[in-house]
Chain A
Amino acid sequence: MKIFTNIQLAATIALTHMRSRLKQTIIATVGVIFGITMFVFMVSMIQGINDFLRNIAFEQSPHLRLYNEIQAASGTILDKVKSQAINIVDHSKPKNVSLALKDGKQVIQLLQDDPRVLAVSGSIKAQVFYRLGSSTINGTINGIVFENENALFNLQAKLLEGSFHELATTPNSIVMGVNLAKRLNVKTGDQLLLTTEKGNNFYVTVAGIFKTGMSDIDKQESYASLNTVQRFMEVPAAHITDIKIKLHDMEQAPAFCQELQTKYGFQGSDWRQDNATIVDGDSFRNFMVYGVSITILLVAGFGTFNILTMMIYEKMKDIAILKAMGFSNGDIRRIFLIQAIIIGTIGALLGLVFGFLATYGISQMPYKSDVMITMDHFPVNYSIVYYISGFSFGIITTTLAGYLPSRKASRLDPITILRG
């Protein structure tokens, strides 16, 4: 009860002090507002961009992939035959592994029934040359079953012109990346020549053009039906080289990937490994945001520190008179801490409001990107976490900034001051 009246009294004195120094108080508050606004705005914007980039990348990459890879042989045949001797084999060649996934179709069947799996698609991937006139471009062709692949990567949304459905109906038709089409100078309906690794040539028709926003894909990849590519490669209909899987919970990918690798003996990789640069970039960007914001907040805290220190020099006589009346050192400290907390609270709250408004403002700004077709406005993230941490930061920095001056005020010796 007594502590409550003490705090209340300290608060009225604090408010009177602040009113008498309104201009400086406002300046200190504006400093805090600015700091919190910038914090909320920058975090929301950078996180928005992060999310957007992740989405593009993750839309293009499955949660996990299974494939085969040509590897250096482990051990030599000589070791097997003469296991007692010391064998030296120089420069052994990589083992001739078929890139085909053994029993791939059956594995896909099994995966489709797995409750953890959302969607699965088997495909064949091959290196080819695209030729038109004198230009020859090295690239990749993916043989897919459109419905399955679309369930994973939402291909339909990336189509600029033409149609994916023609892949299944028109023989020797492909849908190619927008930059690849530009380099070859072809559009939907045009014909060009495709050369496989074995040297076979096929005439193909462009059935459509897509754009993912990932330039690596857009400048060298194309899609055709699974059968078409198998025919080009002269492999049987069971031959697939990639199984791509989307899970209900992407965090399960690494463990699930491990499980499938040991079960089927394929190579595997999950989204974390495939997108290591993006995952790393995230933490780096976050680090920058927090670094800059904390710097701004420190400057704001310094403003609060300044005004309170000034206030204390001006109010030295008041402090002495209050002490003579029976205010303890703790009461005096409270008076100045309350001022800091009021500045911090008002500054932080208004900072959140302005931060939200700035974020909203930029999210409404039309923004057309060449690279990212799916983006028409600036991407932002309104996570409540930024507002909570912004508010806490604001209060904590101003309270810390108020602590030193208030301690100083509480330690002032009233006698020296009152002597005049």
Chain B
Amino acid sequence: MNLIEVRNINKYFQQPAKMQVLSDVSFDIEKGKLISITGKSGSGKSTLLYLLSTMDTDFEGSIRINQDEMKGKSNPWLADFRNHHIGFVFQFHYLLPEFTVLKNVMLPALKLAKYSREETEHHAIDLLKLLGVEDQAHKRASLLSGGQQQRVAIARALINEPLIIMGDEPTGNLDSYNSAVVFDLFKKLSAEKGQTVLMVTHDEDIAGRSDQTIHLVDGKIDHAN
């Protein structure tokens, strides 16, 4: 069963001049797989990921996730969908600087309001442990190093046990040891919990070890790969 079905996507930017960033992109992704999106800088990887994250709604074509068509949905519907089903790790910005690390991780779950505050807190601490930053839990997020922040952001993306975990170079700021920890965690989540991981990466090694690779060249899918 396909979790994600992308059909004939075209994406344009109007500023400063009209320019096509993605042309006729189509692919399927199965549930419980780990997928890498690769390509040169500027090839449109982030743009594609933002479309899949449902935050960018300005495109031609069709994106179906978990049987639901994303095109034409209202803002509250998409927000709720993201809250339930998508955990996102950004390329550059990670945390809300004024909140503590723990609160940052808890926020999506508090928004979801499925579990009690205590359960959520436990769950958050467990995730921080898993990523090796539990000792930072009560610090203000702005005080952490880049790598620490990125790991907290990954913990936050996992807290609601989303269907899909998306990351724009989620290990870009990590040393090789922590990179391996995160990658192994992702592998485990997809294998054991059936969560689908979708990540942009420049790392040949990581791309090679994933279940599927989507390689972009100038906004088109390179099928040779």
- Which residues in A have some Cβ–Cβ distance to B below 8 Å? 2, 5-6, 9, 16-17, 19-20, 317-318, 320-331, 414-415, 418-420
Chain B residues with Cβ below 8 Å from A17 are: 98
The 9 closest A-B pairs by CB, nearest first: A326-B83, A328-B79, A420-B92, A328-B76, A326-B82, A20-B98, A325-B108, A5-B113, A415-B56
A-B contact pairs, 6 of them (CB 8 A): A16-B98, A317-B93, A325-B156, A328-B80, A330-B75, A418-B91
How far is B126's CA from A270's CA once the two chains are assembled, in angstroms? 84
Q: Is the CB of A326 within 8 A of B108?
A: yes
B88 touches A324 (CB 8 A): yes
B143 is an interface residue with CB less than 8 A from chain A: no
Known contacts A326-B108, A414-B55; 13 further A-B pairs (Cβ under 8 A): A9-B107, A16-B98, A17-B98, A20-B98, A317-B93, A321-B93, A324-B88, A324-B90, A325-B82, A325-B88, A326-B80, A329-B76, A330-B75
Q: Which residues of A contact B82 (CB under 8 A)?
A: 324-326
Number of residues from B at the complex interface, CB < 8 A: 32
- Check A323/B55 contact, CB under 8 A, given A328-B80, A415-B50, A418-B92: yes
**In the complex, what distance in Å separates the CA atom of A5 from the CA atom of B117?**
11
User: Which chain B positions have C-beta within 8 A of A329?
Assistant: 75-76, 79
Contacts of A331 in B (CB 8 A): 79, 111
Question: Which of A327, A328, A420 has the most C-beta atoms of chain B within 10 angstroms of its own C-beta?
Answer: A328
Question: Residues of B contacting A2 with CB < 8 Å?
Answer: 113
Structural contact, B95 and A321, CB atoms closer than 8 A = yes
Residues of the A chain whose Cβ atoms lie less than 8 Å from the Cβ of B111: 6, 9, 325-327, 331
> When chains A and B are docked, how far (Å) is the Cα of A153 from the Cα of B181?
96
Give the contacting residue for B93; candidates A9, A323, A328, A418; CB below 8 A.
A418
- Give the total number of A-B pairs whose CB atoms are below 8 A apart: 75
Q: Does B180 contact A (CB under 8 A)?
A: no
A74 CB, min distance to chain B CBs, angstroms: 78
- B196 on interface, CB distance cutoff 8 Å: no
Q: Are A324 and B53 in contact (CB under 8 A)?
A: yes
A318, A328, A415: the one contacting B96 at CB < 8 Å is: A318
Which residues of B lie under 8 Å from residue A419 when comparing CB positions? Answer: 46, 92
Say how far A417's CB is from chain B's closest CB, in angstroms: 8
A326 to B108, CA, bound (A): 7
Closest CB-CB distance, A90 to chain B, in whole Å?
87
> Given A414-B55, A415-B55, A418-B92, A16 and B99 touching (CB < 8 A)?
yes
A323 to B91, CA, bound (A): 16
**CA–CA, A318 and B92, complex, Å:** 13
Residues on the B chain within 8 Å of A9, using CB: 107, 110-111
- In whole angstroms, what is the CA distance A390 to B11 when docked? 53
**Residue of B at shortest CB range from A320?**
B93
A228 CB to closest chain B CB, in angstroms?
Answer: 87
Q: Which of B31-59 contact A (CB under 8 A)?
A: 46, 50, 53, 55-56
Q: How far is the CA of A93 from the CA of B97 in the complex (A)?
A: 94
Q: A418 to B112, alpha carbons, bound, how many Å?
A: 23
Closest A residue, CB atoms, query B100: A16
Tell me how far the C-beta of B31 lies from the nearest C-beta in chain A, rounded to whole angstroms: 21
Closest A residue by C-beta to B93:
A317
| Contact flags B181-208 to A (C-beta < 8 A → 1, else 0) | 0000000000000000000000000000
Q: How long is the Cα–Cα vector from A37 to B76 in the complex, in angstroms?
A: 41
B7 within 8 A of A: no
A19 and chain B: residue at smallest CB distance? B98
Give the complex CA separation of A120 and B86 in angstroms.
86
CB of B64 within 8 Å of the partner chain: no
B135 to chain A minimum Cβ distance, whole angstroms, is: 22
State in angstroms the CA–CA spacing of A331 and B78 once bound together: 13
Q: Which residues of B contact A325 (CB under 8 A)?
A: 82-83, 88, 107-108, 111, 156
CA distance A327 to B156 in the complex (A): 14
Shortest CB–CB separation between residue A307 and chain B, in angstroms? Answer: 16
Query: If A16-B98, A414-B55 touch, does A326 touch B79 (CB 8 Å cutoff)?
Result: yes
Q: Smallest CB–CB gap between B56 and chain A, Å? A: 5
Contacts of A322 in B (CB 8 A): 96, 107
A418 to chain B: closest CB distance in Å? 6
